[in-house]
């Protein structure tokens, strides 16, 4: 493993997180690391302090960097966190000895095409497509060019396995082991009447799937697309193509990630 010399520390503004950041910065300097508060070309490790929301914000703000990242949890039970503040000494000891490994995680990439432009969004947990008005949205869903369904309802959630315990789960989606690279499509309030027939449970697709969303009624105006809770309103769109990104988030791990233990503590 490459040696870690420069560490970028980013904290949310909560008191416990700020205190943890101050404590960590002092420990880093004593251990001989260079500590910075912004990402540079020399940064070897990013440390996010806060909860899962803070981690997602850091990744978004830094535009999903290739630099490895580790999350210290100062909030509720964090699915992305590796340690708690009382384990900082252990972290520095392991990193000093290069006793860690990198676990890669694939975010989602959503390519939005309108009449005028093409834009790309990324999300670690999910991409959500729904009407920004209080009305049903009508969408055509294709996977790798094959028509799957004409959907009517409040909207759709497309999530990663890492995001399966977030918004998708709260709307009836399945919990997926993060070691599986899959896409999960979960309907939001699907309409099922004599006129509309929509799936009512989530559907799992393989890692090479490209889920294409197009308006069933042209044009489908005032659509809200969000990635990890960050909203990107679209007045109109032609297509939204969602797939697993070729980029990877590199998580620094001290031990094998105990995902199911966290599931038991949080949900069961």
Is 155 annotated as belonging to a binding site?
no
SS3 of residue 223 by DSSP: strand
- What string of DSSP letters covers 159-192? EESGGGGTHHHHTTPPP--TTS--EEEEEES---
Is 103 annotated as belonging to a binding site?
no
Cβ neighbors of 193 (< 8 A, separation 6 or more) are: none
SS3 of residue 11 by DSSP: strand
Question: Is 52 one of the annotated active-site residues of the chain?
Answer: yes
Please give the Cα distance from 182 to 199 (Å, whole number). 19
Backbone angles phi, psi at 159, to 5 degrees: -125, 160
From edge to edge, which strands make up the β-sheet containing 239-244?
118-123, 108-113, 239-244, 211-215, 137-143, 146-153
Is 168 annotated as belonging to a binding site?
yes
Distances (CA, A) of 106 to 103, 209, 239: 10, 13, 22
Catalytic residue, chosen from 22, 37, 44, 52, is 52
Is 106 annotated as belonging to a binding site?
no
Bridge partners for 256 per DSSP: none
Cβ neighbors of 170 (< 8 A, separation 6 or more) are: none
Is 64 annotated as belonging to a binding site?
no
Is 100 annotated as belonging to a binding site?
no
Please give the Cα distance from 198 to 139 (Å, whole number). 11
Within the chain, where are the H helices?
15-30, 52-61, 88-96, 167-170, 259-267
Is 265 annotated as belonging to a binding site?
no
Is 166 annotated as belonging to a binding site?
yes
Is 126 annotated as belonging to a binding site?
yes
Is 167 annotated as belonging to a binding site?
yes
Is 222 annotated as belonging to a binding site?
no
Please give the Cα distance from 253 to 71 (Å, whole number). 10
Binding residues, by number, are 52-53, 57, 125-126, 154, 162, 165-170, 189
Query: Which residues are tagged catalytic?
Result: 52
| Binding-site entries for NAD(+) | 52-53, 57, 125-126, 154, 162, 165-170, 189
């Amino acid at each position: 493993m490459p040696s870690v010399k420069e560490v970028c520390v980013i904290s949310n503004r909560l008191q416990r997180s700020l205190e943890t950041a101050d404590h960590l910065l002092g420990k880093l300097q004593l251990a001989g690391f260079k500590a910075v508060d912004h990402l540079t070309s020399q940064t070897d490790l990013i440390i996010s302090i806060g909860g899962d929301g803070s981690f997602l914000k850091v990744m978004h703000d830094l535009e999903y960097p290739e630099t490895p990242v580790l999350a210290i949890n100062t909030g509720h039970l964090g699915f992305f966190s590796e340690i708690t503040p009382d384990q900082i000494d252990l972290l520095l000891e392991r990193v000093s000895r290069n006793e860690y490994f990198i676990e890669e995680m694939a975010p989602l990439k959503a390519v939005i095409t309108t009449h005028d432009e093409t834009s790309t969004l990324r999300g670690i947990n999910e991409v959500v497509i729904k009407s920004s008005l209080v009305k049903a949205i009508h969408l055509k869903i294709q996977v790798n060019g094959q028509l799957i369904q004409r959907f009517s309802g409040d909207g759709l959630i497309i999530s990663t396995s890492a995001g399966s315990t977030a918004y998708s789960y709260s709307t009836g989606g399945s919990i997926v082991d993060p070691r599986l690279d899959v896409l999960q499509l979960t309907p939001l309030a699907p309409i099922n009447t004599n006129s509309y027939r929509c799936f009512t449970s989530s559907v799992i697709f393989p890692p090479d799937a490209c889920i294409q969303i197009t308006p069933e009624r042209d044009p489908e105006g005032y659509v809200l697309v969000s990635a990890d809770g960050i909203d990107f309103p679209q007045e109109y769109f032609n297509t939204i193509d969602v797939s697993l990104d070729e980029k990877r988030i590199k998580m620094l791990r001290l031990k094998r990630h105990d995902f199911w233990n966290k599931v038991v503590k949080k949900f069961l």
